[in-house]
């Protein structure tokens, strides 16, 4: 019988769109089984000359491949995030190589926030708040609870991530955050 290696766990990525700002924030913890391998990973990036921000959950090499593909789609479609995301999702679902990638992404620009999955999903949250990863539901719940009480998108995101880190063992408080000015709410 072959022993199964422990799997990589972790990541909480949260995006908040509020009062003229859009934020993507991610924790820094990378875990292998029950061991923290790295505490300060950078899972949030800027794309397309800083006009798009995104975060990933899943296998790091797979996420970097997806970021590179999204960057190429953004170049091809003049920075139109929705169109680039749909094209990436089509490739991700149909391409034999891409189909095996194990990652999810939250991406945002001044107009739209999207969750991208390997199932071909391009999902836009109704309330401007999106989250993925092992602590995603904790961060999402915290952000939804705070949204009526905290007007600053960055502060709201930081508070929600702190709550998620207090509940999810695969999430830490060492966060990376990127912010863009958003279109009018």
- Which of the residue ranges 24-38, 39-53, 80-94 has the most confident prediction, judged by mean pLDDT? 39-53
More confident residue, 9 or 78: 78
Q: What is the model's pLDDT at position 60?
A: 76
List the beta strands (DSSP E) in 5-161.
8-9, 12-18, 21-26, 30-32, 35-38, 44-47, 52-58, 103-108, 113-116, 122-123, 129-133
Q: What is the model's pLDDT at position 184?
A: 63
Using alpha carbons, select from 37, 10, 6, 38 the residue that is nearest to residue 26: 10
Known catalytic residue at 94: no
pLDDT band at 98 (very low <50, low <70, confident <90, very high): low
Q: What is the model's pLDDT at position 37?
A: 87
Q: What is the pLDDT of residues 58-76, one digit of tens each?
A: 877 777 888 898 999 999 9
Superfamily of domain 8-179: Aminohydrolase, N-terminal nucleophile (Ntn) domain (3.60.20.10)
Catalytic, out of 2, 11, 12, 171: 11
């Amino acid at each position: 019988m072959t022993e199964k290696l422990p799997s990589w766990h972790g990541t909480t990525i949260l995006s908040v769109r509020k009062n003229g700002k859009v934020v993507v924030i991610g924790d820094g913890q990378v875990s292998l089984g029950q061991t923290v391998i790295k505490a300060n990973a950078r899972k949030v990036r800027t794309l397309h000359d800083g006009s798009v921000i995104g975060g990933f959950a899943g296998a790091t090499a797979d996420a970097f491949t997806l970021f590179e593909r999204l960057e190429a789609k953004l170049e091809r479609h003049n920075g139109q995030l929705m169109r680039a995301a749909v094209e990436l999702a089509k490739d991700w679902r149909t391409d034999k190589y891409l189909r095996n990638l194990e990652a999810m992404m939250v991406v945002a620009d001044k107009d739209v926030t999207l969750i991208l999955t390997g199932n071909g999903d391009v999902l836009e949250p109704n309330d401007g708040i999106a989250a993925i990863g092992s602590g995603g539901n904790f961060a999402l719940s915290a952000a939804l609870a705070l949204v009526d009480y905290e007007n600053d998108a960055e502060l709201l995101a930081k508070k929600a991530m702190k709550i998620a880190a207090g509940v999810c063992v695969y999430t830490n408080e060492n966060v990376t955050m990127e912010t863009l000015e958003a279109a009018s709410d």
